[in-house]
Chains A and B, each alone.
Chain A
Amino acid sequence: MILIPCPWCGDREETEFSCGGQAGVPYPSDPVALSDEEWAKYLFFRENPRGPFRERWVHTHGCRRWFELTRDTVTHEIHVRRD
């Protein structure tokens, strides 16, 4: 059971959170300008690395805030960067 460091509430059990997957994939600023293939990339394709991974999480059963952290997908070590 990983401890997730919520920037507002501190370390809490992972059961209080939902994982939002890869961070840094913003909604495209001009979807109409994208080809079907580029749009499909945004919809369906995400990175899946072995090692440090920048992710989005939301404190669903707590303060309900979204935040980002870096989690090692092998060791589950977490590093928080408050950008």
Chain B
Amino acid sequence: MRFTFAGTEYPGCEGETLAAALVRNGVLGGFHSLYRNRPRGVYTAGEEEPNALVQIGARPLLRATLVELEDGLVAEPLAGKGRLVAVPDETRYDTIHAHCDVLVVGAGRSGVAAAEAAAGRVILVDAGRGAAGLSRTWVVGLYDDNYAVAVEAERRVWRIRAKRIVLATGAIERPAVYPDNDRPGVMLAGAFERYGRPAGATPVSGGWSPRVHLWSQARGRLRWDDRVGAPVPDGELRGIECVGSVTGEGLPDAPAFALPDGDEDAMFVDLERDSTVADVRRAIGAGLRSVEHVKRYTTIGTGSEQGKLANVNAICVAAELLQVHPDELGTTTFRPPYLPVSFALLAGRDRGPLFDPARVTPIHPAHLAAGAVFEDVGQWKRPRFYPHAGEDMDAAVRRECAAARESVAKMDASTLGKIDVQGADAVEFLNRMYTNAFDSLAVGRCRYAVMCKPDGMIFDDGVVMRVGEQRFVCTTTTGNAAPVLAWMEEWLQTEWPELRVWLTSLTEQWATVAVVGPDSRALLAGLTRIPLDRGAFPFMAIRGGAVAGIPARVCRISFSGELAYEVNVDGRRGLELWQSLDATPYGTETMHVLRAEKGYPIVGQDTDGTVTPQDLGMDWIVSAVKADFVGKRSFTRADTARPGRKQLVGLLPADRIREGTQLVADPGSTAMLGHVTSSYDSVALGRPFALALVKSGRERIGETVYADGIAAEIVDSVLYDREGARRDGRPA
């Protein structure tokens, strides 16, 4: 085969690494160092390579010693830094979770022996190509409870949970330290042998350093071994043992470490970082005494090779200069990954359309067919608006709002959380969780309710429906469906286990369609025999019956202030229900505008975890009769009761203003009075408007504030139909 390096073509052999092929072709140099531009060449035959770094196409910073030759390979030498290429990585990356009784890392003699002696499920892993067990595989990290992350052929991540781990990871040779120990042609003695003793090359050896990285990642202790001249594993770890040369056994005696005479600025300690003995001397001269500090001062060990060749020599040099034993200096902390790992590899298949689940309701096909533009609400895809031909969002929202306020419109509200609460203590439980009192809520009626955290801040809101003496359904905001259920379970299980009440998620059991507008009654009258006139079906009542032939629970709830019915059916018939309703579809944008015109806050938009019901002007929702409920005590905290808190108000700006904008008293001021929480163009009012949280907002009604230089009058938060006259539809 043939490959290209630095623009020159060379012949290569099957099964060679790029480094081996270069050396065989007499290329003992061809590289340069990062800072000092010193000529360099292949130094090792393994992952510890500090010099021979290459870029291959879009892949930066590869070690020529690990690159398997392919016909037509094109490699450019890098001086310590790769190039990021803005081309998506289209490789398929895989991930596997595996379990075993014994994981053996390293298929040398000791590793193979350990694997053969082990009982049960055994996984043997080795970086080599023809190795026994899982080959071409590096264990890059050991984590708690014997969890190992390994990379196979740079394409597959193995996440291995092992009952026992045997580390047979061997040792890495290190260079001797002397002037110009970095010249092209100088290479480790072991590499010299592996490459067949290339002409013109100079073998060097400063000894062998056990590969203790994984042992150390698992928090294993190390001690300095004088014979080997490097740290070796010390002590015990539960479930992990070291065998073979990683323990130091079988390694040759290290030459006694001594700094020769000569230019210390040419005695390299970390070749990749261009760090020398002179740099270590400077660190010590600055007063540094620990290896961690010397590392930070000199940057020794911080390159992509992570000090595999450099760290032990750095300790020896520092100890020599300080005339102390290396044990006194400690070692650096070893952290995963052992080798560089690409983000795309770790992401695996969880990217693009599989990056995060896209949750959809049963009505989704109808939204797609209607050309809806979607927005992300948590993991849900919700229709934001449904543009007709030629409409932008503003035009579509104007049309949808008009339909909702003047005729009839429909919205998919299925994403809201729904929780079944039943049991003898259901009322008591709800009384403790919400600010409202529920004793007086009759069967067949529903009530808007607010839930606070113990600090008195609003957590969520929704509607509580009483569907039986001891049975309720609580709705939540879309984003808080799971958190509210989890919160309720936490209190039940950990504080009130004596209460007889059980919670079941119904969020996906029912599909919900809001039918909204003065013509909503007429539309539904054609689809149901449930009596719909005002007397038979009052506001906040619940009725059951068939709608479009589908068993349904219907509530008169309104988030727009118009006459409205929320129709709940079995989720499997949600699409059928939607398609039977001849009304204008409207999305979340229109829903936001309609409710904001009525001053209805949205939790998480007009609140942020620092807002109380009283801040929103909702003193009425806080029961005065309940002895206690979650959050009650905090309402009388000094900070919660102080004057000057931000309060929800409306704004009439001269022009459209942006949500999040700071509000100030005059254009030149920087003292923040509050911020804009919601901002829209109102179809009903024919002008821009906003909701905002403003310090002492209710006292400031009538004043003018500025948002990004635009004047805005502070007004009451309810801007449309203050009397609520539209709620029951057109007079009969």
Contact = CB atoms under 8 A, between A and B. Distances in A.
A20 B495 CA distance: 13
Contact of A58 (B486, B632, B634): B486
Interface string A42-63: 1110000000000010101000
A26 B454 contact: no
Contacts of B448: none
Interface in B492-541: 493-495
A43 B219 contact: no
Tell me if B's interface is mostly helix, strand, loop or mixed: helix
Interface in B280-334: none
B375 interface: no
Given A39-B633, A43-B455, A26 B493 contact: no
A45 to B, nearest CB: 13
Of the four ranges (under 10, 10 to 19, 20 to 34, 35 or more), the interface on chain A belongs to 20 to 34
A21 to B, nearest CB: 11
B628 interface: yes
Contact of A36 (B143, B219, B455, B637): B637
A31 B454 CA distance: 10
Contact of A64 (B489, B495, B634, B637): B489
Contact of A2 (B145, B219, B455, B633): B145
Contacts of A36: 637-638
B51 to A, nearest CB: 35
A18 B675 CA distance: 33
B632 A1 contact: no
Nearest to B489: A64
B696 to A, nearest CB: 22
A65 B493 contact: yes
A9 B637 CA distance: 42
A1 B143 contact: yes
B493 A32 contact: no
Interface string B626-660: 00100011100110000000000000000000000
Interface in B460-503: 486, 489-490, 493-495
- Name the residue in B143, B145, B455, B628 with the highest tally of chain A Cβ atoms < 10 Å from its Cβ: B145
Contacts of B628: 31-32
Interface in A4-33: 11, 18, 20, 26-27, 31-32
Given A20-B490, A39-B634, A44-B455, 14 more contacts: A1-B147, A3-B145, A26-B495, A27-B454, A31-B628, A31-B632, A31-B633, A39-B637, A40-B637, A43-B634, A56-B494, A58-B490, A60-B486, A66-B489
7 contacts: A1-B145, A3-B145, A3-B161, A18-B486, A20-B490, A20-B494, A31-B632
